[in-house]
Structure 1
């Protein structure tokens, strides 16, 4: 289960990291929460589709895997957003005090 979550979340984080030049850190965390998991699932389905059989043999259905991944990522997203807000605030405070 955790390998599936890790693989999907790595695809989602990669997709979010690609969006940083087009927006900001806050935008990337919102993209991770809204679009990251579906893009991660599509990427996992494209690159590692055969692994679903292994999870099915272990007793995990596709619905159970996707539901747990969504739930964990929905819980992680507000924390990630707060961390990015704090980082961006520290960056702006640092630039204000150094000039």
Structure 2
């Protein structure tokens, strides 16, 4: 992965993880893992836009579009969350 993408991903995921951990603790572990690639990602991107929105120009000047950054973030979050979801699903089905 690109170093510039990792910078964007680290900045936006900070808010996503905070929201997902809150869902994990308050609602359920399943809700926390489901929110990581879905609603938590949207919360993370909204917070990134609010607090770091001016940095999109930096990525655009490097030839990286906002759409590409978001698509890569979705792909990484899905790759992280799917194994956890499968483990939780197997655990719940065996109970």
Q: Is the 8 A contact 2:16 2:36 kept in 1?
A: yes
Deviation at 1:49, TM superposition (A): 0.6
* Off by >3 Å, runs of 4+ in structure 1: none
Q: Which moved more, 1:22-31 or 1:74-83?
A: 74-83
Deviation at 1:82, TM superposition (A): 4.2
Q: Specify the structure having the higher radius of gyration (Cα).
A: 1
Q: TM-score scaled by structure 2? A: 0.79
Give, in whole Å, the separation in 2 of the partners of 1:65 and 1:80: 23
Count the aligned residue pairs. 86
Q: Is the 8 A contact 2:24 2:33 kept in 1?
A: no
- Structure 2: 5+ residue stretches without partners: none
Give, in whole Å, the separation in 1 of the partners of 2:47 and 2:62: 22
Q: Which of 1 and 2 has higher RCO (CA within 8 Å, sep 6+)? A: 1
Deviation at 1:8, TM superposition (A): 1.4
Paired position in structure 2 for 1:3: 7
- Structure 1: 5+ residue stretches without partners: 90-99
Give, in whole Å, the separation in 2 of the partners of 1:71 and 1:44: 18
Q: TM-score scaled by structure 1? A: 0.76
